[in-house]
Amino acid sequence: MEATALEQTLRERPDDEASWGAYGSLLREQGDIRGELIRLEQLHAHARPADRDELKRRVDLLVEEHQQTWDAELPPEATVRLRRHGFVLKVAVEWSEGAPTLIGKALQGRFVTGLHIMSGEEAEEADEDYYDDEPDFDEDDMPQPPPPHEVGALADLDLGGLTELGLAYFRIGDPGAEALAAAASDGRIETLDLRYCGISDAGPAALGASPNFRNVRRLHLQCNRLTAQGVRALAAFERLEELDLRYNPIGADGAQALIEAPFVGSLKRLLLYREDVSDAGAQKLAHAPQLPTALRSFWRSV
């Protein structure tokens, strides 16, 4: 198989170790040391316990010697979030005026299919404690709307080739969601992470109407400003398998909207608290025949 065909296969199926093995053989023929790294890491994965330490030592030496050179294929402003066999799979970029151009360059990496866009505030808080902070709440116990951000340029992004897109903790609000809906994409995004983004009901409506997100299977909307109306808009995400709506006051009407959604029978994971749907909403979920048995049983226990 040609290298380009293998690369396309690995973009679509990054866990396909047989294709990685074939790609490693091609790289070794081309003198790319990452071919040897693939070989050693695959040997390590299946080695006898007695052989693993030596293989791990050889892997570590290769990575230590060459990783900086491999990462130089990316713009220096991009932060690597995930690698496999020496190749970058996921990057993070801080939002700025020049971010659309920077992101375009970062996504040219041959296996980059995951992108996290950070706000300036998040980038300044590089330690893990940042993710323990929650936004301020208003008098109705709703997360405060986001401060003004220049998010209209999100519409200038080319998201083609991405399977995972995250903007968690970047409070883009509904204008940002609407801009994302207008961005260029080939519609391959399967994971969309919009936790703590200050999105209300108009955001899911815009995203659901966009072909960019027609294949989303995992949608994370924890701690936004959604009500039952926003949950009804989620009906456009027909392929959902995992949905996180925690800390959104969707109420009993929101629970009913979930039960009536076209994806409800395919859900494998639904993250909600009783307080999000009210006691009446919890009862609805507990006795909804549309929900998979495991999820329905869970609601009977809370």
Q: What is the CATH number of the domain that holds 228?
A: 3.80.10.10
The predicted structure's pLDDT at residue 131: 41
Residues 48 and 109 in one domain: no
Could you list the residue range(s) of the whole structural domain that residue 49 is in? Answer: 1-72
Residue 129's pLDDT is 42
What is the model's pLDDT at position 59? Answer: 96
Q: Distance between CA atoms of 225 and 203, rounded to whole angstroms?
A: 10
The pLDDT of residue 73:
83
pTM of the model: 0.88
Shared domain for 205 and 281, answered yes or no, is yes
In this structure, what DSSP letter does residue 210 have?
S
Asked if residue 51 and residue 14 are part of one domain, the reply reads yes
Alpha helices of the chain — where are they, by DSSP H? 3-12, 17-30, 34-46, 49-71, 99-106, 120-124, 173-182, 202-208, 228-233, 251-260, 274-286, 293-300
Same domain, yes or no: 9 and 125: no
- Do residue 115 and residue 46 come from a single domain? no
Tell me: do 175 and 289 sit in the same domain: yes
Mean per-residue pLDDT pooled into runs of 10, the chain (302 residues): 84 92 95 96 95 96 94 90 94 92 92 92 48 52 56 92 95 94 95 96 96 96 96 96 96 97 95 96 94 89 77
Tell me, yes or no, whether 143 and 241 share the same domain.
yes
Question: Is 102 in the same domain as 81?
Answer: yes
Looking at residue 130, what is its pLDDT?
A: 40
Contacts of 243-246 spanning 24+ positions with Cβ under 8 A: 243/219, 243/267, 243/269, 243/270, 243/271, 244/195, 244/219, 244/220, 244/271, 245/221, 245/270, 245/271, 245/272, 245/276, 246/222, 246/271, 246/272, 246/273, 246/276
